[in-house]
Amino acid sequence: MSNSKDLTISKKRIVDIDPEPKKVLIIEDEANIARIIKLELEHEGYKVEIAENGITGLEKFSNGYWNLVLLDIMIPKLNGMEVLRRIRASGDMTPIILLTARDSIPEKVSGLDHGANDYITKPFQIEELLARIRACLRINQMMEIKLDEQLLTIGDLKVDKKTRIVTRENKNIELTPREFDLLVYLIQHQNQVLEREQILTRVWGFDYYGETNVVDVYISYLRKKIDDCFQSPLIHTVRGVGYVIKE
């Protein structure tokens, strides 16, 4: 993309309606290109900042929160590949789209291998860039939702379903597999009164054979670990019915 003619603008726009505008960082040394992209993104409702070289780009990235980065590969002081490598080495997974004037497969493969989410070759149509941005943000949002589903919370109690780590007041709580499954089921139905038979079926399974008071026993185990050492109890007994977990 050597001049502004390469950026064609259609009359119809797809605007991402969001109460919190998405923030985009453009790391691009060609001022005219960066300015045009910034204007187009702002027209779409994004909040945009520009960095003209790799060093400034990394500084701005580190000092702010960004939903997406547009990163030119051929930038001064610190090239785009190195900027990408450092961002990913820090563990940050903010979506990054590479802007490249080179249409070579090895360079594109290298960028993707270093952690880029997508790339677009100059010159490009602005509609294509906007579509790629929307796609990256949509995929990232879906991933964030998935991660949120893995983390269960009630009050100051946190349960990570993936790592099976349980904490309360930032203190780790060791649970047995059955205690963990019971706690997860309670939190997934927090503020609902659950009957003993209901808990038994869901946590122990339809084919469970054994003591019928096993639910009461394990509720007791859980209380000792997540309630007794803390000021506010979460698990409550509903006499004649069962149990409920609530703040």
Residues 159 and 190 in one domain: yes
Check whether residue 129 and residue 163 sit in a common domain. no
Answer yes or no: do 87 and 128 share one domain.
yes
- The answer to whether residues 232 and 113 belong to one domain is no
pTM above 0.75, yes or no: no
Does residue 143 sit in the same domain as residue 203?
no
- Residues 6 or more apart whose Cβ sits within 8 Å of residue 232: 155, 247
User: DSSP label at 203?
Assistant: I
Give the residue numbers spanning the domain of 167.
Answer: 155-245
- Give pLDDT tens digits for 26-85: 999 999 999 999 999 999 999 999 999 999 999 999 988 899 999 999 999 999 999 999
Domain end, chosen from 147, 174, 198, is at: 147
> Do 87 and 117 contact (CB within 8 A), yes or no?
no
Whether residues 42 and 75 fall in one domain: yes
- Do 161 and 182 lie in one domain? The reply is yes
Domain end call among 147, 165, 192: 147
Q: Is 60 within 8 Å of 49 (Cβ atoms)? A: yes
Last residue of a domain, one of 115, 147, 179: 147
Tell me the β-bridge partners of 50: 26
Q: Tell me the percentage of the chain whose pLDDT exceeds 90.
A: 60
Q: Which CATH number goes with the domain that contains 126?
A: 3.40.50.2300
CATH of residue 216's domain is: 1.10.10.10
Q: How many domains does the chain have?
A: 2
Give pLDDT tens digits for 169-182: 989 999 999 999 99
Distance between CA atoms of 115 and 83, rounded to whole angstroms? 11
* 66 and 83 Cβ atoms separated by less than 8 Å: no
Q: Give pLDDT tens digits for 85-131.
A: 999 988 888 999 999 887 777 877 888 888 999 999 998 999 999 99
Q: How far apart are CA 182 and CA 176, in angstroms?
A: 10
**Contact criterion met (CB below 8 Å) for 135 and 123:** no
Can you tell me the distance from the alpha carbon of 28 to that of 53, in angstroms, rounded to the nearest whole number? 7
CA atoms of 72 and 240, how far apart (whole Å): 66
Residues 135, 22, single domain; the answer is: yes
E strand intervals along the chain: 23-27, 47-51, 68-72, 96-100, 118-121, 151-154, 157-160, 165-168, 171-173, 194-195, 235-238, 242-245
